[in-house]
Structure 1
Amino acid sequence: MSPRPNPALPLATPAGVEVLTRILTQGPIPRVEIARRAGLSQAAVTKAVAPLIEAGFVTDQPVTARSGEVVEAQLGIGRPVSPLTVIRNSVSVIGLKVTPTALIGVTTDFSAGIITARQQPLPDHSVETVLQRLTDLASELIGTLGDDSGPLIGIGVAVSGDVDAEHGVVRDSPFMGWRDVGVGELLTEKLGVPVVVTNDVRALTVSEHWFGVGVNADSFAVVTIGSGVGCGLYINGEVVSGAHGVSGELGHLPLAPGELVCTCGRRGCVETVASSDAILNRTRETTGRPDLDLSGAIELAHGGDENAREAFDRAGEVIGSALAAMVNLVGPELVVIAGEGVADYDLYEQRMREAFAAHAFGAAGDCRLMLRSHTFNDWARGAAATVIRSYVRGEQPFQR
C-alpha cells in the first residue's frame, strides 16, 4: 500500500509540545499531573489537549494497556480521574538499523511499540547497494501496514559513526566505509516519505529517554558494547548531540595501548581492546587458534582458558576506565550497558566494576551501572523513536 498523507499535529505553542511529550512518555497521566510536572496551569493543559483529542492523537477515555488491563488513575481520595494517553495507532513509524552485514527494520505505533520486524542481509557496503536494500526493506514494511494502522509519518535510519542529523548526512562511518553520504535526501527521493537519519547509539538513547529507563531519570548514559563501543548521553533535559554533531564517543577515548590501530584509523582507542572483534582477535592471537569465532572464544573463557580470560579481563579493565572517565566528566545518575556484547557481560563484569571504582572520583562512584539486554530490533526501534521525537517537536523534516 502507498503511505497515506502525513497528518499534521495541532501543536501551536511550546506548551502544546510539552503537554504531548508528557502524555507520550509518561502517560496515561491526568491533566492535573501534567500541569504539576510541566509547571503549567490546568487551563493551559486543557487548551493544549483539546485539539489533540479532536484530531484523534490523544484520548481521555479508558484505554487498554498492552497487558490487556483497562487503565485507570486515581489521585488521593475520591473518584477515579480520566488519564490522558496517546492513541497508539493514530500514526505509524518505520525504523531501520544499518549494520555491516544486515539491515533490520520495524514498524511501530505512536508510542514506539514494535508491530512488525523484518531483516535483510547485505551483500556489500556500497552506498548504491545499501540504499536499494533500505528502499526495498522500507517498501516491504510499508506493505505490512493494514487498515488498523495509522498513516506513516516518517522513516528513521540509524547508522554508526559521525552523522549530521540536521541534514541527514552520514559524514563518516568507518564500519560502512562511508563518507559524506546524503542518506536522508536520497531515501526521501526514492520513498516519498520524510526520513530522519541519526547516529545509532544516539537513537537508542532517544528511545530510552522517551520510552525506556530514562523516562524518570534526571540524567543517564547508554553505553553499547559490540562490534564497536558507543555512548549516548542524556544531560540537563536533552539527549546530547554536540556542537558539531559528535558526542559521547567513548569507544574512541585513547585508553588502550598505542600500538593498536582502530577501525577509525587512530591508535589506542577503547574499541581496539573492548569491542567484540578486538576480544576475538586477542583470543585468536594468544591461543594460537585463528579458526576461533566469537562463540568459541566465549566458550573457552567460560571454561577457564587463561588466554581467553585475559582478553575479556583486558576489555573489562579498559571499559571500566572509560566509564569512569565519562562519569567523572558529565556525572550521570545511571549508566545503561547495552548492545550485543552484553551477552558476554559476566566475563568482564568484575574487572570492569573494579576499574570503574578505582577511577571514579568521589561521589561519581555512586553512579549505577545497569545491564539492559538489547536486540537489533531495539536499535531499529530507536530510529523510529527519533522520528516520533522530531515529529512532535516540529524538527527537520517536520517543521511546522
Structure 2
Amino acid sequence: MLSLVAPPSPGRARPPAEGGGAGAVLRAVLAGGPLTRTALGRATALSPAAVSRHTADLAGLGLLRELPPADGPPRAGRPRLPLDIDTRHHLACGVHIGVPWITFALLDLRGRVVAHERLPRRGDADAVLAAIRAHLPGFLARRAAGHSLLGLGVVTGGWVDSERGSVVEHGPLGWRDVPVREVLVGATRLPVHVDGHARALARAELLFGAGSGATELVQLFIGNVVDAAIATGGTVLHGRRSRAGDIGHLPVPGSTEPCPCGRTGCLQATVSEHTLARRAHAQGLIPAPDFDLLLALAGAGDRTALRLFEERLRLAAPTAALLLDMLNPEVLVVSEAGLMVAPSLRPYLYEQIRRHSHAGPEQSVTATGFGVEVLAVAACAPVLDSVYQRPMELRTARAVR
C-alpha cells in the first residue's frame, strides 16, 4: 500500500558526501537543529575537537550561530549552547526559465522563499537571457539589499548539461545548445549553477522537503516538460552528459497526441500543460488555451477542471509506478500543478499509482510540499545544495544597498 511520506527522524543527516566534516556538520544542523556540539558529535560521528573546529569555521562564515541556552536549572560546567542555521546574512538567488514565465527568486539558508518575481517569457534564447541580465540588477537591489548572495542558480526543463552549464535541448522552448552559464556569468560576481528543474527539485526535497533525512529519492516533475531525477546515497544522479531522468518520450498506451519528436503518444506531449489547456479550451471551459486559467478553476473546485487534472494524473501514474518499482526509493515526490492547488487530487493519484505498482507497504509517495512556490525553490536549489555540500568553498557578493 502506498502512503504519504512520514516525517524525518530528528537529527538524521545525510551521510557525508562532499564537503568533508564541515559539510556534514552543516547538514546535520539543517536536518535536526538546533543541536548542541555534543549532539552534533553523535549525529556526524566526528570527534569533539573536529566538531568545535568546524562549528567555529561555519559560524565565522555566517552559516551557523549560537542560540541562548535552553531554559532550565543551571548546569555545572560550560553551558551547552545549541547551534542553528544562521539565516540573517546570506541569500541564494535563482532564475527558473519556464515556457510561459521567467521566475526570479531569493531563498534563505533554510530554503524559505524570501522574494520572487516573474516576467513573461518572450522570444528566443538570446532574448530570454538578455531579459534575465536586464532584470537581475533591479530585482537584487529591490529585494536583497543588505544581504550577501551565495550564488546564482539558473534552472529549466529538458536536457541540461550542468557540468558545462548549457541547455542541450528544450523541446517546448525550441532551444538547442544554449551556453547559459557563459552568457550569464557576467550578470553577477558569483558562481552560476545551471541545472535541470527535476534535479534541482530533488536537491531541494533532500535538503528541506519530503526527502529530508532520506538518501534514496525520486522526483517526478509534470509540467510543460515531464522529467525525473534520481537520488541514491543522498547524491543526485546525472548520468552521461546529465541526461539521466529523460522520461518525456515514454509511450502512453492509447494516446494519439502528436509529439515534436515525430511520434505520437509520448508522455510529455500527452500530459503537458499546453495540451491540458488546449483540451480545456476546446471544451469551452476557459476562454483561451491558458493553463493558468484552468489551474485557477481547479483551485476553486470546478469539477470539470478537476476531471481534466484527474485524467492527467491517470495517464502519468504508470510512469510513476514504473519509477517506484524499478528504483525502490524511500520516497517518490510528484510535482504537478493540480496537486498543489487542489489537495483533494492526492488520494486519486495514490490510488492510480497503486493500480500499476507492485511496491510493498514500505514505499511512500507524496506531492511536493513547496506548493505554488515550487519553481522559485527549484531556481535557488543548486546554489543552496552547493553551500551545504561544500561550505568551506563559500564565496559571496554583497547585494546592492
Instruction: List runs of 5+ in structure 1 lacking aligned partners.
Output: 1-11, 63-70
Alignment partners' CA distance in 2, 1:298 and 1:121: 18
Q: Are 1:117 and 2:113 counterparts? A: no
* SS state at 2:164 partner: coil
Aligned to 1:90: 89
Q: Are 1:188 and 2:194 counterparts? A: no
Alignment partners' CA distance in 1, 2:386 and 2:184: 17
RMSD value, Cα? 3.5
Which among 111, 133, 136 is matched to residue 135 of structure 1?
A: 133
Aligned to 1:47: 53
Percent of aligned pairs with the same amino acid: 24
* SS state at 1:93 partner: strand
* SS state at 1:252 partner: coil
**Structure-to-structure mapping, 1:59-70, within 5 angstroms:** 59-62=65-68
Mapped contact 2:209–2:370 kept (Cα < 8 A): no
**Structure-to-structure mapping, 1:155-174, within 5 angstroms:** 155-174=152-171
Question: 1:193 and 1:50, CA in 2 relative to 1: closer, same or farther beyond 3 A?
Answer: closer
Aligned to 1:35: 41
Deviations along 1:73-103, one digit per CA (max 9) or x if unpaired, are 99xx999842212221332221111112221
Aligned to 2:8: none
Aligned to 1:382: 378
Per the TM alignment, residue 179 of structure 1 is displaced from its structure 2 partner at its CA by: 0.8
* SS state at 1:249 partner: coil
Aligned to 1:3: none
Normalised to the residue count of structure 1, the TM-score between the two structures is 0.79
* SS state at 1:319 partner: helix
Per the TM alignment, residue 361 of structure 1 is displaced from its structure 2 partner at its CA by: 1.5
Mapped contact 2:339–2:346 kept (Cα < 8 A): no
Question: 1:35 and 1:361, CA in 2 relative to 1: closer, same or farther beyond 3 A?
Answer: same
Question: 1:181 and 1:304, CA in 2 relative to 1: closer, same or farther beyond 3 A?
Answer: closer
Larger RCO (CA within 8 A; separation ≥ 6): 2
Deviations along 1:234-280, one digit per CA (max 9) or x if unpaired, are 32222222233122334332234464323455443222332333334
Question: 1:350 and 1:207, CA in 2 relative to 1: closer, same or farther beyond 3 A?
Answer: closer
Per the TM alignment, residue 326 of structure 1 is displaced from its structure 2 partner at its CA by: 0.4
Deviations along 1:122-156, one digit per CA (max 9) or x if unpaired, are 232x122111111122212221356642x222111
Per the TM alignment, residue 281 of structure 1 is displaced from its structure 2 partner at its CA by: 3.6
Mapped contact 1:127–1:178 kept (Cα < 8 A): yes
Mapped contact 2:346–2:367 kept (Cα < 8 A): no
Mapped contact 2:19–2:390 kept (Cα < 8 A): no
Between Structure 1 and Structure 2, how many residues are aligned? Answer: 371
Mapped contact 2:158–2:227 kept (Cα < 8 A): no
Instruction: List runs of 5+ in structure 2 lacking aligned partners.
Output: 1-17, 396-401
Deviations along 1:26-61, one digit per CA (max 9) or x if unpaired, are 322222222222222222212222222234332223
Question: 1:220 and 1:78, CA in 2 relative to 1: closer, same or farther beyond 3 A?
Answer: farther
Q: Are 1:325 and 2:322 counterparts? A: yes
* SS state at 1:268 partner: coil
Alignment partners' CA distance in 2, 1:279 and 1:389: 33
- Counterpart amino acid of 1:386? P
Normalised to the residue count of structure 2, the TM-score between the two structures is 0.79
Question: 1:253 and 1:156, CA in 2 relative to 1: closer, same or farther beyond 3 A?
Answer: same
Question: 1:17 and 1:73, CA in 2 relative to 1: closer, same or farther beyond 3 A?
Answer: farther
Which among 55, 59, 64 is matched to residue 58 of structure 1?
A: 64
Mapped contact 2:159–2:242 kept (Cα < 8 A): yes
Alignment partners' CA distance in 2, 1:42 and 1:200: 39
Alignment partners' CA distance in 1, 2:99 and 2:107: 24
Deviations along 1:218-249, one digit per CA (max 9) or x if unpaired, are 43333233323332333222222223312233
Per the TM alignment, residue 206 of structure 1 is displaced from its structure 2 partner at its CA by: 1.1
**Structure-to-structure mapping, 1:191-270, within 5 angstroms:** 191-257=188-254, 259-270=256-267
